[in-house]
Amino acid sequence: MPLSGLVVDWGGVLTIGMREAMGAWVQDEAIDVDAYIAVMREWLGPEYGMEAAYNPIHAIEKGELEVPEFEVQLADALARRTGQRIDAEGLLGRMFRFFRHSPDMIALVRRAKEQGIRTALLSNSWGNNYPTDLFDGMFDVVVISGEVGMRKPDADIFHYTLDQIGLVAPECVFVDDLLPNVHAARELGFVAIHHTDYPSTAGEIDALFGRTLSR
């Protein structure tokens, strides 16, 4: 089936990598990175996408938990592990300051749309303030988990995105930096790319669509 759609993640794909951004944040806040990783594992389970006994990350991504409450819970969890006081107010805003845009990937998506490929953003949100001005003319569809009450890697949000974009999974390339999301998309029939760096992803996209979108 010919490829007609490009569905991309935001954080770690259209921004710098998660490891780089989060590393800069914990350094700026003087937070022990091992403590942060331990909290994420406790909340998500030993592997991203697995259910844990208590999961505020799933709740905020589905819009079931307000940002201030999530910030309090994250600050408290970090404080218990580090013994240091973590300022909860504005915690996520301080974190997201380090997610700088990736101009190469943004330009590729814009070129894809200009050449008639249908484009969609599919992002799990932690209450992010997305740069909607940047999205102008870039996407046919924008799907934010907290706005639709669903999250990746659950199948329902992929089906919702397909309905919005008017395509079926085998017509779409999906790009994400987290493997559980890539695996979930692949199981649904997407042509899925695990994004690790721009040259590799751009080369795969060029080959899949049979045209030069990388430059």
Q: Could you report the per-residue pLDDT of 12-39, keeping only the tens digit for each? A: 999 999 889 989 999 999 998 888 888 8
Could you give the percent of the chain with pLDDT greater than 90? 77
pLDDT averaged over the chain? 92
| pLDDT of residue 54 exceeding 70 | no
Domain ranges of the chain: 5-16+100-209, 18-96
At the top level of CATH, the class of 18-96 is mainly alpha
Strand partners, 172: 5
Q: Which CATH architecture has domain 5-16+100-209?
A: 3-Layer(aba) Sandwich (3.40)
DSSP alpha helix (H) spans, 11-151:
18-29, 33-44, 56-61, 67-82, 91-96, 103-114, 132-135, 145-148
Comparing 5-16+100-209 with 18-96, is the CATH topology the same? Answer: no
Instruction: Tell me what pLDDT residue 52 has.
Output: 47
Question: 58-100: per-residue pLDDT in tens?
Answer: 999 999 999 999 999 999 999 999 888 999 999 999 999 999 9
CA 204 – CA 61 distance, rounded (Å): 29
| pLDDT of residue 186 exceeding 60 | yes
Structure tokens at 98: 């380090």
The residue-averaged pLDDT of 136-157 equals 96
For the chain, give the number of residues: 215
Instruction: Tell me what pLDDT residue 18 has.
Output: 85
Angle among Cα 40, 141, 107 to the nearest 5 degrees reads 80
Is the dihedral angle over the CA atoms 2, 207, 124, 147 positive or is it negative?
negative
Nearest in space to 17 (alpha carbons), one of 204, 198, 213: 198
Nearest in space to 141 (alpha carbons), one of 110, 170, 166, 171: 166
Least confident residue range of 49-58, 172-181, 182-191: 49-58
Instruction: Classify 120 as helix, strand or coil.
Output: strand
| pLDDT of residue 1 exceeding 80 | no
| pLDDT of residue 160 exceeding 90 | yes
Instruction: Tell me what pLDDT residue 44 has.
Output: 74
pTM of the model: 0.90
Instruction: Tell me what pLDDT residue 132 has.
Output: 84
CA 117 – CA 16 distance, rounded (Å): 24
